[in-house]
Amino acid sequence: MLAPESSLPPDLLVKALLRLLLLALLCSGALAAEPRVALVLGGGGARGAAHIGVLEVLEREHIRIDCVAGTSMGALVAGAYAAGMRPAQMREALLSADWLDMFLDNSAYSELDYRRHQLDRLYFPGAELGVGPGGTLLGKPGMIAGQNMKLFFNRLLGADLGEPQIERLHLPLAIVATDIGSGERVVFRDGSLPLAMRASMSVPGLLDPLDYRGRKLVDGGLVDNLPVMEARALCNADTVIAVEVGTPLLPSEQVNSLFGITAQMIGILTKQNVQQSLAQLRPQQDILIRPDLEGFSAADFARNTEIADRGRAAAEAMQAALQTVAVPVGTYARWRQEFSPLQQAMLPIDAVEVAELRRVNPEVVSRHLRIRVGDEPDAARIEADVQRIFSDGYYQSVDYSVVNTRDKRVLRITPIEKPWGPDYARFGLRLDSVIGKQSSFSLRGALHQTWLNSLGGEMLYEGEIGQTSSAAVSWY
């Protein structure tokens, strides 16, 4: 018995057969779409250097990341990664960074003018208190302002060629901070990348909060130290790779100081929200990487190479799980190329602007600027100018940004005047000792009023009590 002949022309018959074959392959999963992968980098201070080692393994295994979220030190690494930095570049940047200098706000002694030299010789530098209405004493919001830290972020991200904006990055990014006024979680999905990193790393009591869009922002670890759900929602991820590097709580016998109690309180809040995030991971789909960081504290920035190696080892131990979301070499290479940092042209600066100030005369700021209109932007020269401005002592911080508009490049200098000024109480100690003779000491105090006129006039009321007692008033 002969089969009936097909009524379809041969070319249409071939197309129909190909469609049926394609449908069968799709149903069998042979052409299933590659999984969307979100990366979560948790906070942990210096322990966050482990993220770099993890990224090295992800790069080696060709793990394509579709979005990334980070908190605190994880925000620093996540931001640099989303901006196109390779793990090897991050490792080198952390190795070469002067971490001691980064956590100090002191200006170079050579940059101080004669007036500042005299004040620092007589009174404790940086120990001033503000004097408000009615003689109310006002303290600083943190031990350090983070001046050098913010400049490091600028340098790391190449902000002298244009401040990176989160919404313009090729890799979707979310950075978590905390509103210290309301306790709300604040997520940066747009805006300045260096400022978002600075906000997320503002450890309460250590670093000044960041004033941003009407909020006072501090470390995101207080509310979401491991932002799993934020990352999953950011790119509708099928798989979340979470890297947890949080610092364990101190034993009760080691919590015996004000600083220790504060650190423990922050640690308790962080541990609680991390546990909630870990419960959101799906065992069959998501991957948790927990480096062995025993013996490393959140302050061990000088040991960042060792910590990065621990992160690498932890990721290698999860190699089998990571390979389930790996992509072919060619696919990974094309993806990597897509969000590599764009090479920006070295266009000259068309304008230099100084942000509006409440008390300080803008000419006092401009006199420190060595970079001029027509010069090419240069990070080292801009930073030197910024530090000279900061050395005047009138500012909580001084920052810069390079804004590229359609037809020109603008360098903006942003000095933030001290909110606890312009009047200060200063304190000092005088100790005279000669071998074989009697020693003497005295206590010094002063009321220092600044910016009494547009020329920067100052009054200094001084008193000294002890072996030698004196009083003086000077106008500058």
Known catalytic membership, residue 96: no
Helix or strand or coil: residue 112? Answer: coil
Q: Which one of 72, 200, 202, 401 is the catalytic residue?
A: 72
Stretch (H or E) spanning 154: helix 147-157
Tell the burial category of 178 from Cβ atoms under 10 Å away from its Cβ (0-12, 13-18, 19+): buried
The values of phi and psi at residue 108, to 5°, are -60, 140
Closest CA to 401 of 154, 208, 200: 154
Strands 37-41 and 67-71: parallel
In DSSP notation, 417-428 reads E-TT-SEEEEEE
How distant, in Å, are the alpha carbons of 31, 242, 273, 403 from that of 335?
19, 21, 33, 28
Known catalytic membership, residue 72: yes
In DSSP notation, 21-87 reads HHHHHHHHTTTPPPPPEEEEE---GGGGGHHHHHHHHHHHTT---SEEEEETHHHHHHHHHHTT--H
Cα 376 from chain centroid (whole Å): 26
CB-based contact 271:68 (threshold 8 Å): no
Residue 207 tokens, joined: 């670093």
In DSSP notation, 258-297 reads HHHHHHHHHHHHHHHHHHHHHHTS-TTT-EEE----TT--
Q: Which one of 66, 105, 160, 219 is the catalytic residue?
A: 219
Cis peptide before 422 (omega within 30 of 0): yes
- Catalytic residue list: 72, 219
